[in-house]
Amino acid sequence: MCPLVCGIASSVPINDPRQNLDWSVWHSDIASGKSSSINSHVLRMVLWLASLPYGASVWLRNIFFTIKIFRTKKVAVPVVCIGNLTAGGTGKTPCVEWLCRVLCSLELRVAILSRGYGGAGGANDEAMVLEDRLPDVPHLQGPDRYLIAQSAIEELESEVLVLDDGFQHRQFARDLDIVLVDATNPWGYGYLLPRGTLREPKSGLKRAGAVVITRADQVAEEKLTSLRNEISKIAPGLVLCEAIHQPVEMICWESESMELEEIKGRKVLAFCGIGNPGSFIKTLENIGASVVGSRVFPDHHAYTRNDISDLIEWASQLADGDTLLVTTHKDLVKIRTSSLGGNLLYALRVEMRFLSGAEQLQALVQSKTLLV
């Protein structure tokens, strides 16, 4: 980030108790307009100006791929991509799990490919969650997706590849693009990065074969209907699905899980380092938890000893004998402990559940991946 932006950002007031603040944590307050100070208005203008060259480069890059000045590389097996238009927080990991289970049910050897954002010298949180949930599906990470795809085919004899978060990685040809759109913030505050969180304009949906509207249970029906109509207008004819992140259970590291019924009415201290922390808090409240305190860390945060010490101190100040510490599955696989300061630590595990379009999407996946 340029020095001017950093200087303004450092003086923007944040009206919540979140700590470990950096760009990914407080950017939503700036981009959404919630922060209304003079400095915030100036920062929004600076970010908008910065988004202009970014937008021009995205437009030019897409044009070059469309007219084939930039070439794509194709591998010998089908490739299905799970991606999005915005930076983080749409719920790709549960969708990747769902897709892999569908492909495995077709008796195909599946491998997952990803860039590996946020990994600290090894697998990142998403890879660790998927390894936990899909122990028989190998997950290869690296900046050159084509290279690791060749490794999956030649060394693991994979018959189909799932490209995790690769919609903008157009150098690598795929047979089907499934794009996720978060119903709570579908278009990244209406601006390209860094003013908003759009990686590319909404028109990019025209390259997709299917769109899944995620978190469809967290918005009013009127907003959902409007979003359906807008997507259908942008890219008519694609498969359009709606899904939610269904809470399944409360898991504990090296300890017994807890049924969801047991959290109803309980006081909860929640913390997370994900792309959409507000959705996590809302999900806890929707299953009956009373969230009495929360801490938000940057997306893909690598927890340090100081972070753990701070969390223990925070919990000791607010927790009583009946209060639960709750985080996400992505955070738990990095912390890897069953308690913090004597307080049991649970993670809310969620799965993707389709409200509509699941059969059509499965049929599309099957048609693109089964070699005749």
Same CATH topology for 79-245+354-369 and 247-351?
yes
Instruction: Report the C-alpha gap between 73 and 60 in whole angstroms.
Output: 19
- Most confident of the following: 178-187, 310-319, 335-344: 178-187
pLDDT at res. 321: 77
pLDDT at res. 117: 67
pLDDT tens profile 94-153: 999 999 999 999 999 999 999 986 555 557 899 999 999 999 999 999 999 999 999 999
pLDDT at res. 8: 39
Residue 295 scores a pLDDT above 60: yes
User: Sign of torsion, CA 170 174 176 178?
Assistant: negative
**Which residues partner with 139 through β-bridges?**
112
Closest CA to 275 of 251, 297, 246, 249: 297
Instruction: Report the C-alpha gap between 90 and 179 in whole angstroms.
Output: 10
| Six-digit token string for 117 | 């954002």
Q: What band does 371 get if pLDDT is binned at 50, 70 and 90?
A: low
pLDDT at res. 122: 59
pLDDT tens profile 45-71: 999 999 999 999 999 999 999 999 999
| Six-digit token string for 181 | 């759109």
pLDDT at res. 232: 97
Residue 171 scores a pLDDT above 70: yes
pLDDT tens profile 244-287: 999 999 999 988 899 999 999 999 999 999 988 989 999 999 99
Residue 3 scores a pLDDT above 50: no
Torsional class of 87: left (φ above 0), alpha (ψ -120 to 50), beta (otherwise): beta
| 3-state SS class at 279 | helix
| Domain range 79-245+354-369, its CATH number among 3.40.50.300, 3.30.930.10, 3.40.190.10, 3.30.70.330 | 3.40.50.300
Q: What angle do CA 269, 250, 351 make, to 5 degrees?
A: 115
Q: Output 176 or 36, whichever has higher pLDDT.
A: 176
For the stretch 235-247, what's the b/e string if a residue is b when 16 or more beta carbons lie within 10 angstroms of its beta carbon? beebbbbbbbbeb
Q: What band does 190 get if pLDDT is binned at 50, 70 and 90?
A: very high
pLDDT at res. 322: 84
Query: What's the pTM value of the predicted model, to 2 decimals?
Result: 0.91
pLDDT at res. 28: 82
Residue 204 scores a pLDDT above 60: yes
- Per domain, the residue ranges of the chain are 3-9+16-66, 79-245+354-369, 247-351
pLDDT at res. 124: 86
Instruction: Report the C-alpha gap between 198 and 313 in whole angstroms.
Output: 37
Instruction: Look over the chain and give the mean of its residue pLDDT values, rounded to a whole number.
Output: 90
CATH class for the region spanning 247-351: alpha beta
Q: Which residue stretches of the chain are H helix?
A: 3-9, 23-32, 38-66, 92-105, 125-133, 145-156, 221-234, 277-286, 305-318, 329-335, 358-369
pLDDT at res. 88: 78
Residue 80 scores a pLDDT above 60: yes
